[in-house]
Amino acid sequence: MARDEPGADTPETDDEPSRLQYDLLVAAAELDRLNQSLTARAVWDRARRYGVRISHAALYNNLSALVETGLLSKRTNPADARSSLYEPTETGIETLRNRSTRLSSALSGALA
């Protein structure tokens, strides 16, 4: 299923991010690890490298949802006050680690 198809963005449970939000969180974490700018545009560009197709409106809605759930933090960009910078929180990084562990376990089980 392509990531922009209906149903592709449904979270597995009510308390976890959607697959699209995971992809955006991964993109933000990678940019953070590379010490690159964490503007919404940079996150969008990085996510597109993974095949994520998303409109700018949906990008901002999903980034806002990640901020509201505490997985990303948001602050005014000191270089351009018209934009914001996003950064994965400790909770966001832990969420990615947990997801990675679950996926690794599932893959190991499937290949056993």
Residue type, 13: T
Instruction: Write out pLDDT tens, residues 60-76.
Output: 999 999 999 999 999 99
Instruction: Write out pLDDT tens, residues 1-56.
Output: 344 433 444 445 556 899 999 999 999 999 999 999 899 999 999 999 989 999 99
CATH number of the structural domain spanning residue 106:
1.10.10.10
pLDDT at position 75, please?
A: 96
Please report, rounded to a whole number, the percentage of residues in the chain having pLDDT higher than 90. 71
Burial 38-56 (b: 16+ CB within 10 A, else e): bbbebbbebbeeeebebee
Q: How many domains is the chain partitioned into structurally? A: 1
Does any domain span residue 79? yes
Does any domain span residue 47? yes
State the sign of the Cα–Cα–Cα–Cα dihedral 69, 72, 73, 78: negative
Does any domain span residue 98? yes
Does any domain span residue 95? yes
Cα–Cα–Cα angle for 89, 64, 103, nearest 5°? 55
Neighbour count for residue 20 (Cβ, 10 Å): 22
- pTM for the full predicted model: 0.79
Cα–Cα–Cα angle for 105, 109, 112, nearest 5°? 135
Does any domain span residue 1? no
Domain encompassing residue 99:
19-111
Does any domain span residue 101? yes
Residue type, 31: L
Does any domain span residue 14? no
Does any domain span residue 8? no
